[in-house]
Structure 1
């Protein structure tokens, strides 16, 4: 047998042996005297280059408060390296007591949680939370969506995700339109797909940047994520595009969007823009750097661009030429794509290496971060240094709520403050907390950037269908995880690649559509829907 074939078996055996050898220690009883003594805890965390968790003032605060001596195993904020380090530690059996991770760097996936939970490597947290984490327990009791995301199919919570309800991320596929060009050409803001096409044609033909050259690019995008793709924003006037699964919910039934006639009609409209030279071919190929370079050209040559926020494609003064464009009224709808702000998986997890005292104290540290005081101290740092209380006259970015805090940014020449755990501690930032940040009222300044995103997102808020597929909260049984992963990859890659080929003319909607539909069927689209219907039904049981 080849060594490569033996390696997965070795990993599994190592995990099983390690799990069995540590279960007794993890289940030991603990009394108050144990908690009063100093407990050593090894913690696995991503660490910024300019931070030092050992000397960090928030670390010191938690150590003093809960009688802890932290020993940190750190990685960089590079996602690939962090994931590899975590996987190696688990495979070797040399893993820590506790993980405090960052979702956009690396975290436990739902399948990780089921696998390592079943093996006994990750501990179920239900009882610990109920007994020692009242703030977290209150959130789980009150927020059924968050509870469903955190609870595995067997009823156990093997890890806790960060609750960060980023409002402007929730409707992330925003179209930013060059309104300075609208003013220059004396045009009205387009409200329909046909008006949008007419606007792009004017951008192409009438030299809105005034340099005497026909160098304007009416519409571009990027392949960074689906939120920077031109397709969902335009498709949402024909049929709902959820960015992630291409699934629909109709009367409780899961269906697939990308094989419908409405999807074909949407592609036909986008192709008409491409045929007119209104879409930059780079929209289907360019990465983040190329997108930024395009948006920063001087004079400005870009007419419209999709992105979560504007500084993904321009970070010079060109950014002040753009404003968000509301969803366009298409022949069937004017939807916006909804993305749940919380990413399923877990950033906090306890292993069977943790003593009973370490388990309790680790969950107490987490619970502190599920308070407003803890959120401010753990993420922003010391009061007066990283944040301050609002003053009379301060206005929150959501003007309907009372202001909660003022972020104090670091100066250009200031080194990173070593007084917080940064994104590793961003556990409880509900929308009410984020709405309460104070910023200047001039949105066309760097200091008013968050307010600008807030106001832009109001145009998209609640414009999705009444029922959408909750891909952020469904769990797949262990028996179908490999199958659904393969189906999802093959089907969605085919949808994305075929969409571009239809738009650019490499495929014909007249001659090749039926072959495209047959290809989806051969890839198992019916089975894809079937598995997701089962997952959706179980999800509904968890949130009711």
Structure 2
């Protein structure tokens, strides 16, 4: 894996500890407008968001959306801009590979020299945190995008294993510590009527998506369903490994015994809400903040006495505990197009978001409006955020443009400030105890590699999804069909995919030097 020296930076703090940056943030003497193509989760960039109006006051740079407010599909908007040949000044996208491919074709400009000359905050940031710089460097050695970074050093845990503590208490059971105990608890939930209605309608394990077989339940055994890197920095494909076979056999057994939601592949995204509000579900693996919120849901708690849904440590399997769903280091980024009229001004604007003021604005909004400071200087959100009628705090912040997808760094303290304190404690417990299984870094490919790997990955995913469902539902015998599955992987080109990923990973490591 990546050298430990990179990860030791977790204790050093993030931008809140960095003192570089100018107090005078003006970039242009006169107000100057640039266009941006950006949308996130169905929201097109809005120049009226208070966060970006404040940035305009500071810098004299105003961004204007180049996309239609009715066009919320970012990939569709991106493809339309490319095909029309009418590129905006800036493009923000959740698929960095597409922007970097466009960069290698000349549509996005390299930022290396511009950062060196005009972006002291970004330059210092990359020097202090080489792991983040590794994510910014494309396969050809150029930096085409400034990523949207998670506060990865401080919080990598994103999801955890939740269990109905009130059901455990009713049945006189302890929290499961091993995989054997985990299985016994599921059996008890299924057979001993913990919801007390006299009907065997309990579903011990449920999920909101069909990915449970891909990540969560398979992952609790330490198995992988995609490409990963072992301790020798070798790229492997999880379903080819013995641990996958061990895990899949157990999951098949659990499903056959009715311990897993029989409608796991079809119930949909509302499964968590349905299972909990109807007092049917016993366990799931899901996001800390949103899942913890059910414990303070008045309607649910009025309906179910002593309701308590808590995060517990993953069960131990072969001497280790595995939390299979972790945050990546980043989730997209933005770049400057070859059509931009003033790249120097734009890279300075990019740099603004890594200054102390820009960092704060991006994460907390406008001081005095969405946040204030106590007598010790600690930031806290105002009543506008915390007591908004009909909206949760995150909705209020999103509607102000906080943490919209631009090249910047998230601050984990922002999440702690509005979220449930218990959710933060549980997430920190997962990270502190080393349960989190870090995913493969987002790898960078050359144009030729990208064409090959995209084709192979698509076919591999289709095959894996097909066989996972058949194996678990029982329509295909695992032991009999697994050898044919491996043969089909080889026919698709799994060995070539591993070779391509190994080259890309080696480049990734090289970028850390």
Match of 1:342 among 329, 335, 338: 329
Q: Deviations over 1:151-203 (max 9, x none)?
A: 11222111111112268983345221111111111110001111111111111
User: What is the aligned partner in structure 1 of residue 430 from structure 2?
Assistant: 460
Please give the residue correspondences for 1:14-33 in structure 2 after superposition, counting only pairs within 5 Å. none
Displacement, 1:462? 6.5
User: What is the aligned partner in structure 2 of residue 123 from structure 1?
Assistant: 109
Please give the residue correspondences for 1:385-464 in structure 2 after superposition, counting only pairs within 5 Å. 385-391=369-375, 403-406=378-381, 408-409=385-386, 411-412=388-389, 420-424=400-404, 427-430=407-410, 433-435=411-413, 439=417, 449=420, 451-461=421-431
Q: Distance in 1 between matches of 2:187 and 2:362?
A: 50
Q: 1:339 to 1:294 in 2, by over 3 A?
A: same
* Residue pair 1:113, 1:158 contacting (<8 A) in 2 also: yes
Q: Distance in 1 between matches of 2:47 and 2:262?
A: 49
Does 1:87 find its partner at 2:79?
yes
Displacement, 1:295? 2.9
Q: What TM-score comes out, normalization by structure 1 length? A: 0.77
User: What is the aligned partner in structure 2 of residue 382 from structure 1?
Assistant: 366
User: What is the aligned partner in structure 1 of residue 32 from structure 2?
Assistant: 39
Moved more, 308-317 or 246-255: 308-317
Q: 1:509 to 1:498 in 2, by over 3 A?
A: same
Match of 1:368 among 322, 335, 352: 352
Q: 1:94 to 1:232 in 2, by over 3 A?
A: closer
Match of 1:203 among 184, 189, 198: 189
Displacement, 1:38? 4.0
Does 1:308 find its partner at 2:311?
no
Larger radius of gyration: 1
Q: Distance in 2 between matches of 1:159 and 1:541?
A: 19
Please give the residue correspondences for 1:107-256 in structure 2 after superposition, counting only pairs within 5 Å. 107-110=94-97, 112-165=98-151, 170-223=156-209, 226=211, 229=212, 232-236=215-219, 238-241=221-224, 245-256=226-237
User: What is the aligned partner in structure 2 of residue 519 from structure 1?
Assistant: 488
Q: Distance in 2 between matches of 1:137 and 1:165?
A: 18
User: What is the aligned partner in structure 1 of residue 445 from structure 2?
Assistant: 476
Q: Distance in 1 between matches of 2:366 and 2:167?
A: 44
| Gaps in structure 2 of 5+ consecutive residues | 1-25, 302-306
User: What is the aligned partner in structure 2 of residue 442 from structure 1?
Assistant: none
* Residue pair 1:45, 1:75 contacting (<8 A) in 2 also: no
Q: Deviations over 1:287-315 (max 9, x none)?
A: 21344323322xx1110011123636985
Q: Distance in 2 between matches of 1:460 and 1:75?
A: 42
Does 1:277 find its partner at 2:277?
no
Q: Distance in 2 between matches of 1:259 and 1:210?
A: 43
Q: What TM-score comes out, normalization by structure 2 length? A: 0.82
Moved more, 63-72 or 528-537: 63-72
May I ask how many residue pairs the two structures share in their alignment?
475
Q: Distance in 2 between matches of 1:521 and 1:514?
A: 11
| Gaps in structure 1 of 5+ consecutive residues | 1-32, 393-401, 440-446
Q: 1:179 to 1:460 in 2, by over 3 A?
A: same
* Residue pair 2:362, 2:408 contacting (<8 A) in 1 also: no
What is the root-mean-square deviation in Å for CA atoms of aligned residues? 3.4
